[in-house]
Structure 1
């Protein structure tokens, strides 16, 4: 619930998977996305923002990564669904259609 309380009090919330055995023994982004939406009461929009630009801000890298803008790296994934609003409901599925790193399609 810390993410929810942070949001309602105007804090910037970042979501990341660090695969840390002490606090986060999972590297699953879909699982964390679903947990954020279901248990932390985050909307899909808030969860996308927390996974992307807010995480970049937390790492001091917002000038280069995690949003689409001129001069940034151009890293992104394209998903098989028509909207990000489907993301909390696809925990065990691979929905990645393409992976783009530094503007080049790699998968």
Structure 2
């Protein structure tokens, strides 16, 4: 598989955004936990780098960095809560859904 040279991009000072490629024709994947794990395994990102790429960097890539992507006053509260001992588990445990709760727009789903 050919993956983006993410490690080189980050090491050169670039900002990487991660997302799913929910494309029914070739890649039907909506699982961000899996994308974060792939980035750690194949693109050599640390779990913290992959989480940043999937949150704040992705928001900025979409021009929404002032509205979403991080937990700050005035931003929309979109977040997932995970039942894991450390954020590092998101980078390596992709076989199960570890989300315990999801909030979108400040409302628990």
Gap regions ≥5 residues in structure 2? none
Report the aligned-residue RMSD.
1.6
The alpha-carbon deviation at position 61 of structure 1 amounts to: 0.2
User: What is the correspondence of 1:14-33 to structure 2 with a 5 Å cutoff?
Assistant: 14-20=17-23, 24-33=27-36
* 1:31/1:7 CA distance change after superposition, 3 Å: same
The alpha-carbon deviation at position 22 of structure 1 amounts to: 6.6
* 1:22/1:9 CA distance change after superposition, 3 Å: farther
1:43 equivalent in alignment to 2:46? yes
Task: Tell me how far apart the structure 1 counterparts of residues 42 and 81 of structure 2 sit (CA, whole Å).
Answer: 26
Gap regions ≥5 residues in structure 1? none
Aligned counterpart in structure 2 of residue 69 of structure 1, from 69, 72, 76: 72
TM (norm. structure 2) is 0.88
Task: Tell me how far apart the structure 2 counterparts of residues 98 and 82 of structure 1 sit (CA, whole Å).
Answer: 15
Which is further off, 15-24 or 72-81? 15-24
Report how many aligned residue pairs link the two structures: 106
1:55 equivalent in alignment to 2:37? no
Which is further off, 14-23 or 61-70? 14-23
Which is further off, 85-94 or 48-57? 85-94
Task: Tell me how far apart the structure 1 counterparts of residues 26 and 9 of structure 2 sit (CA, whole Å).
Answer: 19
1:8 aligns to what? 11
Task: Tell me how far apart the structure 1 counterparts of residues 107 and 53 of structure 2 sit (CA, whole Å).
Answer: 24
The alpha-carbon deviation at position 24 of structure 1 amounts to: 4.2
8 A Cα contact 2:46 2:91, kept in partner:
no
